[in-house]
Amino acid sequence: MKFFCQNAGDTNEWASKLLGERYKQVLSSTVGQSAPQTPDANERMSSGVSVSDQKRRWIEPARFATLARGGPRYDSQVECICYPGGAQFEGQDEDGQAALLPYLFLTFNQS
């Protein structure tokens, strides 16, 4: 079992890779405008929306750098991400969506 508290650098990249990836639906939109080809033609507007499944990390490396680390600044609260390896937990992903997670997000008192 591994516990990740606030870190920086290579440790965060390693922890993020360890937690793995999942497919996530990503929404894309485009808007365009074309200039008239002749003086009497109208401008043309176009738009589009698409949804695609993309591989994304469960937790991005930068998230580890923002975990609470105790002391007065964090009201003596410490946050950590616990990785037990192979287990899944019901919870919400970083976007607030219900998911089976490969980690636990824990908060505890420093004292």
pLDDT tens per residue, range 44-77:
788 888 889 999 999 999 999 999 999 999 999 9
Q: What is the count of structural domains for the chain?
A: 1
Query: 7 lies in which domain range?
Result: 2-109
29 near 45, Cβ under 8 Å? no
Residue 98: Cβ-neighbour burial (10 angstroms; 0-12, 13-18, 19+): exposed
The helix (run of H) or strand (run of E) holding residue 17 is helix 10-19
Which pTM value belongs to this model? 0.73
104, β-bridge pairs: 82
Supply the mean pLDDT for the chain. 90
Q: Residue 30's pLDDT band (boundaries 50, 70, 90)?
A: confident
Give the H/E segment covering residue 61: helix 61-64
The Cα–Cα gap between 60 and 13 comes to: 8
